Chain A
Amino acid sequence: MKRPELVCPAGTPAALRTAVDAGADAVYCGFQNATNARNFPGLNFTPAEMEQGVAYAHARGAKVLLAVNSFPTAGRFDLWREAVDAGARFGVDALIVADIGVAAYAAEAHPDLRLHLSVQAAASSPEAIRYYVREFGVRRVVLPRILTVSEIKDVKKEIPCEIETFIFGNHGLMVEGRCSLTNYVTGLSTNMDGVCSPAAQVHYDKEADGSVATRLGDFTIDRFGAGEQAGYPTICKGRYHAAGREDAYYAFEEPISLNLATLLPQLMAAGVEAFKIEGRQRSRAYVRQVVGAFRGAVDQVLAGEDPELADLVALTEGQKQTQGAAGSKKWR
């Protein structure tokens, strides 16, 4: 069985070093601007930090994958071009791209640099994936979290590139790369500004009874009772009143995290070349625990042993986990 690459998140240089030290084969990260889909305040890398991060990872046999995975709008392409060029200059091992213009520029300007297709491109069919491979030389596709293991296996047979699947973390999929809910409420786009629920527009109002109302802009998007588990303040994870429903309910998605730990052997047998852990917005403590747990589990599967899986539920959103579509098409 081929050894899959464990691809781990890093929102800060310290998290990158933590991931590498915890056993990551590759770390993905981005710059402090709209070119990456985790453009959160206080997060991400300056050019100098990226260069140092690449050196740290390479010295320890790990790769760095640069996420340039948002969509430039007219008149702003220079920022994405600079990010691609800086990645090439610093010696990153691959660029993770979603936009065809960014992919075309990278393929033309840096033909020797690997291109990975971001989950933000939402390419889930063999036809879509083959298009990116043919036109831009994409070497790996990060699959959207909408396929069963059996479907992943079928896709793998029909595409000439590697497959990377998410195995742990945030599970706010919607139609990945096409979420416009945040844009509708805040005027900022997840896909084009890299910011989902901009923190400047998130407010928590604690009530006297211990409940907390979550507001995004002018909208109340959820209300947690005292002691009730909470989730991220995103519209897709909010609870709403709707006709025909007595109580507010999760109309789009639930606050829950993906955890495919028990499916690792099947995913490896299906030919998945890389496993991705979500969470660039999370702490070093999260990175250390989750990367360490999956490093051990993957190595045990490779050794023919049953993996001993650490309990990661305390780190999950809403303290709940799911196998999502990988386990069943009825994940909601």
Chain B
Amino acid sequence: MTEISHDTPAPRPGLSRLLPPPPLFLLQPVLNRVVHRVARLHPSLFDRLGPHRTARFVIDARGLPFVMLLVPDPDNLVFRALPRNREPQGDARIAGGFFDLLGLVDGESDGDALFFSRDLDITGNTEAVVCLRNALDDVEGSIAEDAAGLFGAPGRAILAALRRTGDRRGGTS
């Protein structure tokens, strides 16, 4: 994987594989389960992505200590968290407040409105982002709920708490 080097030097690849940062180490299997569950529940999502299903989307939920890499390829799904100083090279980059991005995958926010208000930044392959946005928006219900459902009652409780916080803040991070 090609990575962009930021201020902090990246750890040696071998070392990083052996000793991933603890929070990301714990997060990785969770993200993996989430993306596979969403893919299993909503296979039609991939049809809308068309040629962009192999695109690499870097997702920056501002305020989180890491960025995420999504490759929505049904044959090789990738959803991974990476430290900010090892941000991967992507075909497109989507940046926004955590609660705004949650609103998008929750079906409660409008991507164009977030773009108009400058709460959402898009760079790179715009067509891939538009495809991803439209594909996610055609998913009935809430992807956030699907993901939370993976963890039963505690997962749903956490999502409900996040939604309440997001409502109070009016989006953003």
Contact = CB atoms under 8 A, between A and B. Distances in A.
B3 interface: no
B118 A230 contact: yes
Given A281-B112, A319-B116, A41 B121 contact: no
B112 A199 contact: no
Interface SS of chain B: helix
Given A282-B110, A285-B108, A199 B138 contact: no
Given A229-B116, A282-B110, A282-B112, A42 B123 contact: no
Interface stretch (A6-14, A74-82, A116-124, A291-299): A6-14
Nearest to B95: A206
A139 interface: no
Contact of B137 (A12, A46, A205, A233): A12
B113 A314 contact: yes
Contacts of B121: 204, 206, 212
Interface string B99-141: 0000110011111110111100111011101111111011110
A40 B138 CA distance: 14
B116 A317 contact: yes
A20 to B, nearest CB: 13
B71 interface: no
A204 B113 contact: no
Contacts of A212: 118, 121
Interface in A261-313: 281-286, 289
B116 A204 contact: no
Nearest to B112: A282
Contacts of A138: none
A224 interface: yes
B112 A205 contact: no
B106 to A, nearest CB: 9
A163 to B, nearest CB: 28
Contacts of A285: 103, 107-110
B64 to A, nearest CB: 19
B139 A199 contact: no
Given A229-B118, A315-B113, A15 B137 contact: yes
B161 to A, nearest CB: 21
B154 interface: no
Counting chain A CB atoms within 10 Å of each CB, the highest count among B47, B107, B137 belongs to B137
B109 A42 contact: no
Chain B interface category by residue count: 35 or more
B109 A283 contact: yes
Contacts of B116: 229-231, 255, 316-319
A42 B80 CA distance: 24
Contacts of B112: 232, 281-283, 286, 315, 317
B155 to A, nearest CB: 23
Contacts of A282: 110, 112
A233 B123 CA distance: 13
B16 to A, nearest CB: 28
Contacts of B108: 285
A319 B113 CA distance: 8
Given A204-B126, A283-B112, A40 B134 contact: yes
Contacts of A200: 125-127
A132 B112 CA distance: 35
A238 B138 CA distance: 30
A154 interface: no
6 contacts: A12-B137, A17-B140, A199-B129, A203-B126, A206-B121, A283-B110
Interface of B: 47-50, 52, 103-104, 107-113, 115-118, 121-123, 125-127, 129-135, 137-140
A-B interface, 5 closest residue pairs, ranked by CB to CB distance from nearest: A42-B134, A42-B131, A12-B138, A199-B127, A200-B127
